[in-house]
Amino acid sequence: MMYWKDKTFLYIIHLVGVVFFHALATKGLTLYNKTSLSRRRPFLSGAAGENMEQSVETKAKPAPDKKRISIPPEYLFTLAAMVLAMAVVWAFTGHWPTSENPYRSYTLQALAWLDGRLELDMNYTWLELAVYKGKYYVSFPPFPSFVMLPFAAIFGPNTPDHLVSLFFTLVGVIYALKLYRALSGDLERAEKYVLFLFLANGYLFISIQGWVWYLAQVMCFCLSLMALYYAVRGRGGLSLAFWACAVGCRPMVVIYLPLLAVLIIRQWKKQENPLGALGLIKKRWYWAIAPTVIAAVYMGLNYARFGNPLEFGHNYLPEFQLAEHGQFSFHYLLPNLINICRLPTLNSKGGALQFAGFDCMAFWLIAPMTISFLAAFMYAVVYKGRKHLFDLIALPLMLLTHLLIICCHRTMGGYQFGNRYIVDMLPYVFYGLLLFHPREKGFHLLTTMLMTLGFALNLVGTIAVYNHWI
């Protein structure tokens, strides 16, 4: 087993390298076919040149093959790049996706359910368990436990949590690309913006492990992108269902329901019915069935465990029971706002900067997509105000509300690199960036610079924290 694990990195590099260079070659040939004729235009001009170009294009175009499934090279390229970046972190930290998971709370909960119990069989002191009436419960929202049920039934306590997390990461990459295409109309620069989202804004840190805290965030991230994509495409049933699943991972994303509802109504008006929301409710009322059932399951489970349909269990953590101001309080707001803005400090023993490894640091350094979003937002206010009036008003308000709720929490994520609670906001920041951003070259150059900064900081910082260097 250890021999196989030692070779894992080489196998991953080999496999992903093949996919990477295939995608690169495919993309290169595509670009060549699009531009090679234009390079010859100085030799032919006018109607003769146009006729010659049309003739060559007609001859060069292969006959359509209806049975062939074509995968855009951007998808292969982006997926391969994501896995390569993660593999570098695995190699430097030793946290392979095949390693044991000591923080498998969702598996323990799934095993308890399979055994006919709501509570766990004992107190796992290294996990954040809720203590209620002398019994021990998983204190996190339950959706990931439902995902782990079949794995727990097959593998028992040795579920492949890290591989499940990797699966949701890759699905999230795919849906980020799909969302980019739905909003932009093409895949030009898609791989750049999607890798910016996943590698340069704090997501890399939580994607490496299937630990209980990170697995829920990875699932929420993926499900939020799926909810946004289906809302943009006007498929309200799927959008609301995936949103409800995301709430079962990270309840604060409930804030974004109005945005999804407006997107669904907007597409309904464009595609099917000019009657607006009323017509949508009459004809597509069944879109609400899935989220209603999912919410009912959450509430029923909460009531059965804690006697409160809105209590997932975190209020019964010993640390919050003993806290003077409880789990949420405005008392925490100002200190946490200071924490998410604090810059690295100069180490007194040398010239190296010292990065905080606990309770956050300057969010614009670790998540520079927020800077791109603000720049795009200001551009849209000036040039796209009438076209995107609702989004320009509602989206920043939702993001700000989410941020304020985060800062009213007693903890800001504990030991980490960056600001992992802010990661939950990024799918919606990504949506706003794609909606608002200008097509000018200067903006893309700014984004490239910020992406480079974010990727460098997150890659090195993730490795440093997992190795306990900071």
Residue 281: predicted pLDDT: 85
Low-confidence ranges of the chain (pLDDT < 50): 1-6, 25, 29, 31-50, 52-53, 55-60
pLDDT by residue (tens digit) across 140-185? 999 999 999 999 999 999 999 999 999 999 999 999 999 999 999 8
Side chain identity at 102, as an amino acid letter? P
pTM for this predicted structure: 0.87
> CA–CA distance from 284 to each of 83, 223, 287, 406, 460 (Å)?
39, 22, 6, 34, 48
Q: What is the pLDDT of residues 262-305, one digit of tens each?
A: 999 999 888 766 667 778 888 889 999 999 999 999 999 999 99
Supply the pLDDT for residue 26: 52
How many angstroms separate the CA atoms of 453 and 447, rounded? 10
Q: Where are the domains of the chain?
A: 101-347+354-466
Asked if residues 363 and 370 have their Cβ atoms less than 8 Å apart, the reply is yes
